[in-house]
Amino acid sequence: MRVVFMGTPHFAVPSLEALIARYDLVGVCTRPDALTGRGRRLASSPVKQAALAAGVPVLQPRTFRDATAVADLAALRPDVVGVAAYGLLLPRAVLEIPPHGCINVHASLLPAYRGAAPIERAILAGEAVTGVTIMRMDEGLDTGDWAAMESVAIDDLYASEVSDSLADMGARMLLGVLSQIESGRVVWRPQPKDGATYADKLARNDVALNPLLPLETALRRVRASSPHAPAKCSVLGVAVTVQRASRSEVSVPPSAVVAEKHRLLLGFADGSMDVQTLTPEGRGAMDGTAFARGRRASVGTWEAIG
């Protein structure tokens, strides 16, 4: 079976590697190289890097609304297209190319959290579980029929940790569904009509920290944050991104900062946050107490930014 894979970020790499090991992978589609980092250097996606390392041809269309891009894909003659976090909409002209369809690894229990940020939105909402759905794509936003679904507990995991777990799970599940397709045993089920929710891409305000938040809401924001949408605030007069934190049993008033015994505590509306790791603006990551020592402060205040 000739397979083409579409994906872009780290989440998609396990699925790509699984396909390389099992199938005749005739091509990979990924997003065009982009400027990243403070130096604004042109960088290839993780999927492109993995594909080139394995000697797989790579296509990087900016859109599939272009007839040339569709023709380039059709020229690969895929029997099936595997998709994981690609980042481009697939029009009908693309969906109809592979006889067995475009099979997507989606990081939620559909129909919940359709869209671009299912993991982060599930964490922000306080969901106890999330998972992976393998679905056959149609022209809707993650509305296609599904063939496999598995769940995992979120607990107090961070978005990056949940993503790594679901990426490995999704790769295994994708191989399982492709095997069912090959043998003619696959069963496609329509998604339930009720319970659909949408997971828009996170904006900075979605994860910004301020002292008026309930502590649990603030902790979810930290766990859901990423370099694209960081959990930012101003601590002791310095703009910082909080990267790792937990609930503290020590009581600290809202807006207060207390550094004591290897802890940096921030006060919220109904509790205090123990900040293990933060990144001051323009500097590298450090532990909370090292930051406080650098500011020569054991007490002070913190506030929202903007």
Which tens digit of pLDDT belongs to each residue from 40-67?
A: 789 999 999 999 999 999 999 999 999 9
pLDDT score at 100: 98
Q: What is the pLDDT of residues 202-261, one digit of tens each?
A: 998 999 999 999 999 999 999 999 999 999 999 999 999 999 999 999 999 999 999 987
Query: What's the rounded mean pLDDT across residues 108-134?
Result: 98
- Residue 34, φ and ψ in degrees, nearest 5: -135, 155
Query: What's the rounded mean pLDDT across residues 69-90?
Result: 97
pLDDT score at 104: 98
Q: Are 103 and 82 in contact (CB under 8 A)?
A: yes
Total Cβ atoms within 10 A of residue 250:
13
Given a cut of 90, is residue 36 above it in pLDDT?
no
pLDDT score at 40: 76
pLDDT score at 13: 98
- Weakest mean pLDDT among 86-90, 259-263, 301-305: 259-263
pLDDT score at 296: 86
Query: What's the rounded mean pLDDT across residues 76-96?
Result: 96
Q: What is the pLDDT of residues 142-183, one digit of tens each?
A: 999 999 999 999 999 999 999 999 999 999 999 999 999 999
- Closest by Cα among 286, 262, 260, 258 to 272: 258
- Please give the share of the chain, as a percent, with pLDDT higher than 90: 91
pLDDT score at 262: 83
Q: Are 200 and 115 in contact (CB under 8 A)?
A: yes
Mean pLDDT score across all residues of the chain: 96
pLDDT score at 297: 85
pLDDT score at 294: 87
Interatomic CA distance for residues 263 and 119, integer angstroms: 29
Residue 281 in tokens: 């603006």
Interatomic CA distance for residues 170 and 176, integer angstroms: 10
Given a cut of 80, is residue 306 above it in pLDDT?
no
pLDDT score at 41: 86
pLDDT score at 114: 98
Q: Are 240 and 285 in contact (CB under 8 A)?
A: no
